[in-house]
Structures are given as C-alpha cells and as structure tokens.
C-alpha cells in the first residue's frame, strides 16, 4: 500500500473558519477514510498569515507564494492501493464544494524514484 499526501488548496479567504455544518461534513469525510483503515496521518491546517518563504541568497519574503491566488490550507496522508483510490478520497472531500481543490501526490521513500 502506498501513502499519498492530499494537499488542500483554497482560493477564497484562507483565514475563514468552517461553519459548524462544514466542519461536521469534513469530520464525517475523515471518519469514513479512518473507518477503512486508510488514514495514515490526519494532517493539520496551515497558517497563511504566520508564514515566510526562504529563497536563495538569504532572501525572505512574506507569506507562502504570495504571487499566486491559491492558499495551501492544509494536508493529510492516506494509504491507498494506487493513485486512483487516493483520487477517490480527494473527490469526496467537502473542500471542493467551497471552490477549493485537492492535489494528490505519492509519498516516495528514499529508495524510490519519482
């Protein structure tokens, strides 16, 4: 079984907290994955305001990727038989209803190639 990182992006206000209904929907989605024993790490939300980007030459800029209009709002790690199964988890994520998107990436072990 391979681990996949689901990276949640939001193009609206990155500081908005979900409504109680949205939070419950997200928790139900997460519980469904956990019930299948496919949850490797429930992940965390990521701050958009307490963030810096470090670039070559000791250049430090405010915020994460301020030149793009999407914010990475969080992540989690799932276990799946293949990327198609990981995509199915992502397609059921409530963030899509709010206009967000989910990037799915395999997590490679040091001995694996990309």
pLDDT (0 to 100) of residue 13: 56
C-alpha distance across the termini of the chain, in Å: 16
Torsion over CA: 18, 34, 102, 106 (sign) = positive
Listed ranges 76-80, 96-100, 108-112; the one with the highest mean pLDDT: 76-80
% residues pLDDT > 90 (the chain) = 42
Overall average pLDDT of the 9-33 stretch: 80
Global confidence as pTM:
0.81
pLDDT (0 to 100) of residue 75: 92
Q: Which of 2, 64, 82, 4 lies closest to 93, judged by CA? A: 4
**Alpha-carbon gap, residue 61 to 53, rounded angstroms:** 5
Widest Cα–Cα separation across the chain: 47
Label residue 40 by pLDDT band (50, 70, 90): very high
């Amino acid at each position: 079984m391979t681990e996949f990182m689901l990276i949640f992006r939001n193009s609206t206000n990155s500081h908005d907290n979900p409504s109680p209904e949205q939070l419950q929907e997200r928790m139900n989605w997460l519980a469904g994955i956990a019930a299948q024993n496919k949850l490797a790490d429930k992940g965390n939300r990521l701050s958009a305001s307490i963030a810096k980007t470090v670039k070559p030459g000791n250049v430090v800029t405010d915020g994460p990727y301020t030149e793009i209009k999407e914010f990475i709002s969080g992540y989690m790690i799932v276990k799946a038989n293949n990327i198609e199964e990981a995509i199915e988890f992502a397609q059921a994520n409530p963030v899509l209803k709010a206009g967000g998107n989910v990037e799915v990436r395999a997590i490679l072990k040091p001995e694996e190639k990309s």
